[in-house]
Amino acid sequence: MSDKRTLIDLNDETSDDEEITTQGAAGYAKKPAEIVHSNLYDDVPTTSSLVSEVNENSGNYPLDAQNDHPPLLLEENALISGNITNGDARGNGQIIPDSEPIFHLRSRTAAASTPNYESLDYEVCENVLFQDEQRKRLTERFSPRKGVIRWIIFIQIGIITALIACTIDIIIEELSELKYKFLKNSVDENVPLSDASGKDLMVPFLYWILLSIVPVGIGAAMVTYIEPITAGSGIPQVKSYLNGVKIPRIVRIKTLAVKAIGVITSVVGGLAGGKEGPMIHAGAVVAAGISQGKSTTFVKDFRIFKAFRDDHEKRDFVLGGGAAGVSAAFGAPIGGMLFSLEEAASFWNQNLIWRTLVASIISVFTLNIVLSAYHGLNDFTFTGLFNLGKFDTPLKFDYFELPIFMLLGVIGGLLGAAWNSLNTKINAFRKRFISWKFAKVIEAAVVAMLGVTLACLMIYFINDCRPLGNDPTVHPVQLFCEDNEYNAVASLWFQTPEATVRSLFHDPPGSHKITTLTLFTIIYYVLSCVTFGLNVSLGVFIPTALVGAAWGRLLAMLAFYLFPQANFLHPGKYALIGAAANLGGVLRMTISLSVILMETTGVETSFFFPLIIALISAKWVGDYFNEGIYDTQIEVNHVPILPWEPMPQYKGLTAREIMSSPVVCIKLRDKAHYIYKVLKKCDHNGFPVVDDVRDDRRSEGRICGIILRSQLIVILLKSLYVENKQFWLPETTIQTFRDVYPRYPSIKSVRKLDDNEKYTVDLSMFMNPSPVRVNPHDSVPRIFQIFRALGLRHLLVINNENRVAGIITRRDFIYK
- Binding of its own copies by 55 (CB under 8 A): no
Beta bridge partners of 762: 669
What part of residues 230-289 is at the interface with its own copies (CB under 8 A)? none
Write down the least CB distance from residue 690 to its own copies, Å: 11
Q: Which is nearer to its own copies, 4 or 794 (CB)?
A: 794
Q: Which is nearer to its own copies, 173 or 691 (CB)?
A: 691
Write down the least CB distance from residue 649 to its own copies, Å: 11
Q: Which is nearer to its own copies, 623 or 757 (CB)?
A: 623
User: How far is Cα of residue 487 from the mean position of the Cα atoms in its chain?
Assistant: 42
Residue type, 139: T
Write down the least CB distance from residue 767 to its own copies, Å: 7
Q: Which stretch binds its own copies (CB under 8 A): 24-32, 166-174, 597-605, 724-732?
A: 597-605
Contact 287, 323 (CB under 8 A): no
Q: What is the distance between the alpha carbons of residues 18 and 13, in angstroms, rounded to a whole number?
A: 9
Q: Which is nearer to its own copies, 260 or 361 (CB)?
A: 361
Write down the least CB distance from residue 722 to its own copies, Å: 13
- Binding of its own copies by 649 (CB under 8 A): no
Tell me which of 350, 435, 470, 567 binds its own copies, using CB under 8 A: 350
DSSP 579-640: HHHHHHHHH---HHHHHHHHHHHT--GGGHHHHHHHHHHHHHHHHHH---HHHHHHHHTT--
Q: What is the distance between the alpha carbons of residues 466 and 508, in angstroms, rounded to a whole number?
A: 12
Tell me which of 126, 174, 189, 482 binds its own copies, using CB under 8 A: 126
Tell me which of 182, 225, 460, 608 binds its own copies, using CB under 8 A: 608
Q: What is the distance between the alpha carbons of residues 37 and 803, in angstroms, rounded to a whole number?
A: 12
- Binding of its own copies by 509 (CB under 8 A): no
Instruction: Give the x-and-dash track for 29-48 against its own copies (CB under 8 A).
Output: ----------xxxxx-----
- In angstroms, how far apart are the furthest CA atoms of the chain? 104
Closest residue by Cα to residue 550 from 588, 530, 579: 579
Closest residue by Cα to residue 674 from 721, 724, 614, 608: 721
Q: Which is nearer to its own copies, 182 or 365 (CB)?
A: 365
Looking at residue 795, the DSSP 8-state letter turns out to be: E
- Binding of its own copies by 638 (CB under 8 A): no
Tell me which of 704, 720, 747, 797 binds its own copies, using CB under 8 A: 704
Residue type, 564: P
Tell me which of 1, 65, 178, 373 binds its own copies, using CB under 8 A: 65
Sign of CA dihedral 240, 245, 248, 251: positive
Instruction: Give the x-and-dash track for 82-111 against its own copies (CB under 8 A).
Output: --------xxx-------------------
DSSP 28-79: PPPPPHHHHHHTT-TT----TTHHHHHHHHTTS-TT-GGG-SPP-HHHHS--
Write down the least CB distance from residue 606 to its own copies, Å: 3
What part of residues 177-216 is at the interface with its own copies (CB under 8 A)? none
Q: What is the dihedral of CA 609, 613, 615, 619, to 10 degrees?
A: 150
Sign of CA dihedral 437, 441, 442, 444: positive
What part of residues 351-370 is at the interface with its own copies (CB under 8 A)? 351, 353-354, 357-358, 361, 364-365, 369
What part of residues 137-176 is at the interface with its own copies (CB under 8 A)? 138, 143
Residue type, 401: E
C-beta neighbour count of 700 within 10 angstroms: 26
Tell me which of 181, 651, 758, 816 binds its own copies, using CB under 8 A: 651
- Binding of its own copies by 133 (CB under 8 A): no
Tell me which of 253, 439, 514, 616 binds its own copies, using CB under 8 A: 616
- Binding of its own copies by 482 (CB under 8 A): no
Q: How many residues bind its own copies (CB under 8 A)?
A: 100
- Binding of its own copies by 334 (CB under 8 A): yes
Tell me which of 599, 670, 696, 812 binds its own copies, using CB under 8 A: 599
Q: Which is nearer to its own copies, 131 or 749 (CB)?
A: 131
Q: What is the distance between the alpha carbons of residues 280 and 165, in angstroms, rounded to a whole number?
A: 10
Beta bridge partners of 119: 245
Instruction: Give the x-and-dash track for 734-773 against its own copies (CB under 8 A).
Output: ------------------------------xx-x-xx-xx
Q: Is 735 helix (H, G, I), strand (E, B) or coil?
A: helix
Write down the least CB distance from residue 352 to its own copies, Å: 9
Write down the least CB distance from residue 237 to its own copies, Å: 19
Contact 761, 720 (CB under 8 A): yes
